[in-house]
Amino acid sequence: MKVNRSIEDINEKIRSGKAVVFTAEEIIDVIEEKGIAETAAQVDVVTTGTFGPMCSSGVFLNVGHPQPRIKLNEAFLNGVPAYAGIAAVDLYLGATSLPPADPANRNYPGDFLYGGGHVIEDLVDGKEIRLEATSYGTDCYPRKKIDTSFYLSEINEATLYNPRNAYQNYNVAVNLGDKTIYTYMGILKPNMGNANYSSAGQLSPLFNDPLLKTIGIGTRIFLGGGTGYVAWHGTQHNPSAERAENGTPKYPAATLALIGDLKQMKPKWLRGLNFLGYGATLQVGVGIPIPILNEEIMEFCAVRDEDIFAPIVDYNRGYPQREAGNLGLINYAELKSGMINIDGKKVPTASLSSYAGAREIAATLKSWIESGEFTLTVPAAGLPSVDAGIKLNTMPQRDPEEGEE
């Protein structure tokens, strides 16, 4: 390989305003015209983006102490329960958390109009948040009850910490049953009435660094409109999933745990969502810069929608019952065309992840880098990749009442 750039080389160029940056979508045509070697010689960074529903998201808050002090035991933010099983006035609010009074699916399919994701959006939007909490009272924390309100700017910390974001590939959901079903993949009409997918494809971060050669712990990223970092590999991280020759997985594979300061994020890129019949969640904007260290990394960034495949999965029975198998693989170019062919049947497609949003995120990150305000970081450690021997486990199901066999 002729090109051998370090992150420090790239940062020098970023600081002097000379870095050459393209989005993962733009770079495809550049490579088409100039080839891998020449493009790698000229381009420093490729930016990626994704803007999809990411349920495994949430925020750690420290709301400060009232007088007298309290050890929060049960806490609600705008009526939505937050986890208080940590230090006195620390809380964790998860995106899918629901008010106890929400009728959920008792009135099927439930609307789930306001959950944790919506509280997070309201927080970032600078709205007043009501905090209602109770405790049991201790010698050090005598207060037993509090009902107050606060704004994001008034509390000590608000740290977005998302245990699983940026899924490297995802299922294409269909319904083989004869009734409409309501899922986290949206409304699925009977008899394969539609097929819903959720990935930005060629713009998606982990499709552009499929083997995790540049993204690692400490990689600085665009997160929710501010800057954040890769904290760890995400939950359910499964880099061992079967891959195509270009390195991209054919099934859901790698994931990332992300962290960042909520106070500098924007409501546009952290949107509370409600999926009919499923629940509340958060749409998270993520953008990751890929440093073009050499021709190999450049080649990964050349990936196109037509070369990335996802499995078509039945959400009426196959997925919920955890049955093995699928209805075949389909590429993202076909998915994005709006119509796919499954066993001779024409099925309209829709996405849950916003491609327009992904495009805007990649372009924003590009402008940050070009302006010199965003430099790249050298990862403190790599993430487990294809050679880590990771095997995805399912839940052990045994009867605790029965003795050891």
Partner 1 sequence: MVKQKVVLRFPPNIVEQPTIYMLIKDFDLMVNILRADINPRKEGRLMMEISGEEANYQKAMTWLKKQGLSVMNLEQQIIWRSDRCTHCGACTVICPTAALNFERPDMVVRFEEDKCIVCELCLRACPARAMETLVDNSNFR
Binding site for partner 1 (CB under 8 A): 51-53, 109, 111, 113, 186-187, 189, 193-194, 196, 271, 273-276, 281, 283, 336-338, 348-357, 359
| CA 143/CA 63 separation, integer angstroms | 15
C-beta closer to partner 1: residue 115 or 239 = 115
| CA 315/CA 185 separation, integer angstroms | 9
Q: How far is the CB of 80 from partner 1 (least distance, A)?
A: 16
Q: How far is the CB of 269 from partner 1 (least distance, A)?
A: 10
Residue 393 burial (10 A CB sphere; 0-12, 13-18, 19+):
exposed
Would you report the helix, strand and coil content of the chain in percent, each value rounded to 5? Answer: 20, 30, 45
Q: How far is the CB of 258 from partner 1 (least distance, A)?
A: 19
Q: How far is the CB of 265 from partner 1 (least distance, A)?
A: 16
The total of other beta-carbon atoms located within 10 Å of residue 13's CB is 18
C-beta closer to partner 1: residue 68 or 348 = 348
| CA 301/CA 28 separation, integer angstroms | 8
C-beta closer to partner 1: residue 103 or 348 = 348
C-beta closer to partner 1: residue 173 or 303 = 173
Q: How far is the CB of 351 from partner 1 (least distance, A)?
A: 5
| CA 220/CA 216 separation, integer angstroms | 9
C-beta closer to partner 1: residue 156 or 341 = 341
The catalytic position among 140, 324, 381, 395 is: 140
Known active-site residue 140: yes
Residues 6+ apart with CB under 8 A from 299: 36
Measured torsion, CA atoms of residues 297, 299, 301, 306, in degrees rounded to the nearest 10: -150
Separation of CA 94 from chain center = 14
Active site residues: 140
